[in-house]
Amino acid sequence: MTDADDRTDAYGPGGGGTLRSHHWYGTEGLRAFSHRARTRQLGYLPEEHLGKPVIAVLNTWSDINPCHQHLRERAEAVKRGVWQAGGFPLEFPVATLSETFQKPTPMLYRNLLSMETEEVLRSYPVDGAVLMGGCDKTTPALLMGAASADLPSVFVPAGPMLRGHWRGETLGSGTDMWRYWDDRRAGLIGDRELSELECGLARSPGTCMTMGTASTMTAAAEALGVTLPGASSIPAVDSGHARMAAAAGMRAVALVRSGAPLSRFLTREAFEDAVTTVCALGGSTNAVIHLLAMAGRAGVEFGLDDFDTLARRAPVLADVRPGGAHLMEDFHYAGGLPGLLARLGEAYLHLDRPTVAHRTLRAQLDGALVHDDGVIRPLNRPLAAEGGLAVLRGNLAPDGAVIKHIAAEPRLLSHTGPAVVFDDYRTMQERIDDPDLPVTPDSVLVLRGSGPLGGPGMPEYGMLPIPERLLKEGVRDMVRLSDARMSGTSYGACVLHIAPESHVGGPLALVRDGDPITLDVPSRTLRLDVAGAELARRRAAWRPPPARYGRGYGALYQDHITQADAGCDFAFLARPGEVPEPYAG
């Protein structure tokens, strides 16, 4: 799994044979004496930790995060691997971001977890880290913080849950939730069916087993080269997941010994390969925001136009829901990400860059096979000729917007229709099923007030519901626009991340009911067909909404959050600058 000759004595990012933790434990002063005494208080013998790489195991387990329900056990496997490799593991509980339960959205707290990750790694006597997570915002948060701290680090993905079942049908969490909820609103199923679906949709620990944001981001982490090979798709309850966790603990020790900081792997080439991978998977639009933020933390220049350039040339090879037919278990046993990356090969990837497990990605993919061409398509028979994401620009989105066009009805990808505007999500919920709502299948549903500031936190509101009246007529997709995000398990002709958002006076704030809007995915344009003079009049009349938070984390968030095209990071975290190592003596 790894290159055997990496076990050197460089010790830490600076090399020189001195562990970072030595500055806490190995000197002669009063503070070092106190640190050693308190470690004895914890019950550890000197020979258990002195002179050994100390590995922080950052665990996002909690009782209310079903995606991470098994990580309490997996942490023990990680620690077992650290011990086996001659290191000393210390487990740190860090914030859990449960996509299912946390309101208004865990995206509001992604940057908070990234700050916690960075400061835990910086302030404690640790030499390297194993980062444990997988639920949507957890993967980018952990990697953003670890990139800022820049210690040797390995990421352990939580893994997807088992496939769902209901009345002989295989279910995909999220994707089939949306589908059957629309069937319920259309009167096609009733409360009994819905109750059965509640019990069959999510059957085990782990993340969504569709190519939602969770699997998209863990696959992106593997493509970046910061996980072990194949780690991103191992089902959460598979015994291979525990073996991978132990191997990750061993590898973290080796990375410390070889002096390999995370920045060695988070290069421009790695981010290009991660974007190519997301596109080849038909992955979540959320990857755009997260990879932009991660690149910013790594000091890599990367923007929306890079996404679109890469998406135009990357074929979609993964036939996985919501853009395809299969689920993550099928993908894993068909060869997983190593199989898909091997198929992309030198034509699409930078194979000579390093990964945490091998000297080169080329070596990591040597011998990788695909076992089912129906799940991971060959290059000459892709699911789609170009990546499933597109970046749009125009007078309605001067700083960009995104659409997952592979998950939309093709007839809507070039469309002009009249706007039906909702000022916020609550208003939309109140009005969407009003029988007097002036809406037709050709209308363009517009939601504003749901961006980084307006949401707040840019909630996953972007898959606006189809009006009940139209659902009953058989309509299942319409053009929908918003400054919000949407779940990676969602589908439809949903234009998202419109920037600047309406809350700061972006053009979305100026749209009125009945305005013609043109979406043209082939030409990558999104246009409000209203005369410039009229738009200028509306802008002059626009007033910014009042600040939502008077204090607390929310106030910090609203003062420093960037827009979607910049990754929604905090400006003070994304900017370059030195942070001194703490003085431990």
348-359 pLDDT tens trace = 999 999 999 999
Domain segments of the chain as ranges: 52-162+204-365, 165-199, 390-541
How does DSSP classify residue 504? G
Between CA 153 and CA 355 the distance in angstroms is 11
152 preceded by cis ω (within 30°)?
no
Between CA 354 and CA 349 the distance in angstroms is 12
What does the pLDDT read at residue 175?
A: 87
Between CA 294 and CA 271 the distance in angstroms is 9
What does the pLDDT read at residue 170?
A: 95
Q: Tell me the three state secondary structure of residue 479.
A: strand
| Bridging pattern class, strands 516-520 and 525-528 | antiparallel
Number of H helices, E strands in the chain: 21, 14
pLDDT at 15 over 70: no
Confidence of residue 190 (pLDDT cuts 50, 70, 90): very high
Cα dihedral sign for 6, 156, 114, 569? positive
pTM exceeds 0.85? yes
For the segment 93-108, what is each residue's pLDDT rounded down to a tens digit? 999 999 999 999 999 9
Between CA 254 and CA 121 the distance in angstroms is 18
**365 sits in which H/E element:** helix 361-365
SS3 content of the chain, % helix, strand, coil (to 5): 40, 15, 45
Q: How far is CA 262 from CA 131, 252, 412, 463, in A?
A: 12, 11, 42, 36
Q: Which of 192, 217, 203 is nearest to 135 (CA)?
A: 217
CATH code of the domain occupying 390-541 = 3.50.30.80
For the segment 198-218, what is each residue's pLDDT rounded down to a tens digit? 999 999 999 999 999 999 999
